[in-house]
Structure 1
Amino acid sequence: MNTERRAPLDRKRVADTALKLLNEVGLEGLTLRAIAKELDVKAPALYWHFKDKQALLDEMATEMYRRMVAGTPLGSDDGWRERLLKSNRGLRAALLGYRDGARVFSGSRFTGLVHVEEMEDNLRRFTATGFTLAQAVRAITTTYLYTLGFVTEEQGVQPLPDERREGYDIDERARRMADFPLSAAAGAEIFQDYDRHFEEGLALVISGIEARYGIE
C-alpha cells in the first residue's frame, strides 16, 4: 500500500502542471482531461477549481505573469524609456518560455491583483515625467500589444526557441518567389533573427511615443 502523501490539489498546482504540459502538447492538446491524467486525478476534480478551460488559461496567464515579474528586475530610477524596454523584453522572454505562450496570454484575464502594483508604479512614473494619464496608458498598452503580437507571430514560426515549424524554409520560399525578387529577399528579414527584429521594432514604437507626445 502506497502511503506517500501527494500535495493537495489547488489552483496553483493545477496551473503549474498545465504550464509544464503546455510545452509538450501545445495549446490544442492541453485539455482538462490531459492535465488530470498528469496529476493522477479524475477530470471532474479539476472543475472544483476551474469551471472551464478559459478559467484555467486565466490562471496560467496569471502564473506566467508572476514568474515574469520575479525574473525582470526593474530599477527604482528607471526612466520611462528604460521601463518600457525592460518590461517588454521581460514579457517576450516569459512568453517564449512556453509553447504557444503568447496565445495563452492573449485575451486572458488575471485572476487577482498581481499586476496592479507594477501598473500603479508605471503610471505614477509616467505621469510624473509629463505624460497625461491617457498618454501613459496608451504608451504602455501600445508597446505591450506590439510585444504580444510580435511573439504570437514569432511562435507561429518557432514554437520554442531553436524549433522551426515546417513550411518556413527561407531558401525554399525564395525559390517559389523567384519572380518577385524583393519579396523573396524579404524572407530573411521576416522569418529570421527575431531578437534583432524585436529590438528594432520596440525602438521604433518608443521613438513614435516620444515624437507623438514630445516628452523627453
Structure 2
Amino acid sequence: MSAPSTPPPSDAPRPPARGRPPRLDQARTVEAALALLDEAGLDALTMRRLADAVGVQAGALYRHFATKQDLLTAMAERMLAGCSTRPPDSAWSARLTTLARGMRTALLAHRDGARVYAGTHSTGANTLGFAETLLGVLREAGFGPAQAARTALAVIHYTVGHTLEEQAALQPGDQGPADPDRLREAVAEARHPHLAEALPVFTDTDFTAQFEFGLDLLLQGLRALSRPGPESAA
C-alpha cells in the first residue's frame, strides 16, 4: 500500500489552473522595460530580453502586448506620469511653457525616451490627461476647439522633435553628421560663409537654451493667433 502524498506547504507557488496562463504583472513589466531601455537603449530592447528580465517565456508577454509597438505605447504612457498636473494659475503662455518643459523632462528621464514616445498613440490616463490639460490652457486663452487641437499638436511635435535630436546628439560614440567636430571640418568658410558664421550655435550643446528659444518663437506666433481675452496678451 503506497504512502499518502505529502501536501505542499501553504506558501509554495501553486501551478496555474489548467488552461490559464501564468499571471504576468503588466505594470511591473513596463517598469522592467524602462529599466532595460535606460541600461541598453531602444535598439537593444527586445521582447526576449524583457521576458528574461521578468522571468517568463517570451510568448507570455504577448498576452499583454500583442506587438512590440504595443509595449512601446505602454512605456510612453508610463513616461508621462505626472505631466498632466495643471500648472499654477498664471498667464496662459506661462502655463503652456510649463507643460512643454514637463514633457521634455519626462522624455529626457529615459534613454531614447523621445524615440519610444514618437509614433505612439496611447489612450491611457497619463496621455489623455496631459492632452486635456494642454487643451484646457489653450481654450481658456481664447483658442477655438480646432485651433486649440492643432496648436496642441504643434507644441507636442516641437517638443518631441527637439528631444529626439537632443538625445541623439548625447549618445556616446560616433555621432555621424551631427557630430560638432565633423561639422566644423565639413564647413568651408569660402563656400559656406553663412554656415561658418553660425557654427557656434550649431555646435552648441546647451540644448535647454535651444529648446527655450524655439518654444518662445512658437509662443510669439500663438499670441498673434489667440482671440482677445484676459490672458491673450500675456
Match of 2:212 among 177, 199, 202: 199
Pick closer, same or farther for the CA change 1:118–1:155 going to 2, 3 Å. closer
Deviation of 1:55 (Å):
0.7
Pick closer, same or farther for the CA change 1:30–1:187 going to 2, 3 Å. farther
1:91 corresponding residue in structure 2: 103
Count of aligned pairs between the two proteins: 206
1:147 corresponds to 2:147: no
1:107 corresponds to 2:119: yes
Match of 2:132 among 114, 120, 123: 120
Deviation of 1:118 (Å):
4.1
Deviation of 1:78 (Å):
3.3
C-alpha separation in 2, matches of 1:124 and 1:99: 30
Deviation of 1:4 (Å):
9.1
More deviation, 137-146/117-126: 117-126
Deviation of 1:107 (Å):
1.1
Percent of aligned pairs sharing the same letter? 37
What 5-or-longer segments of structure 2 have no aligned partner? 1-10, 14-22
> SS of 1:102's equivalent?
helix
Q: Residue deviations 1:21-64, cap 9 Å, x none? A: 01222212111001011112211111111111011011001101
1:184 corresponds to 2:196: yes
Match of 1:10 among 13, 18, 25: 25
> SS of 1:144's equivalent?
helix
Whichever of the two has the greater Rg, that structure is 2
More deviation, 120-129/24-33: 120-129
1:129 corresponding residue in structure 2: 141
Pick closer, same or farther for the CA change 1:212–1:129 going to 2, 3 Å. closer
C-alpha separation in 2, matches of 1:143 and 1:67: 18
More deviation, 198-207/126-135: 126-135
Deviation of 1:141 (Å):
1.7
Give the TM-score taking structure 1 as reference length.
0.84
1:166 corresponds to 2:175: yes
1:156 corresponds to 2:171: no
1:213 corresponding residue in structure 2: 226
Q: Residue deviations 1:107-140, cap 9 Å, x none? A: 1121424333443344344323322112222222
Give the TM-score taking structure 2 as reference length.
0.78
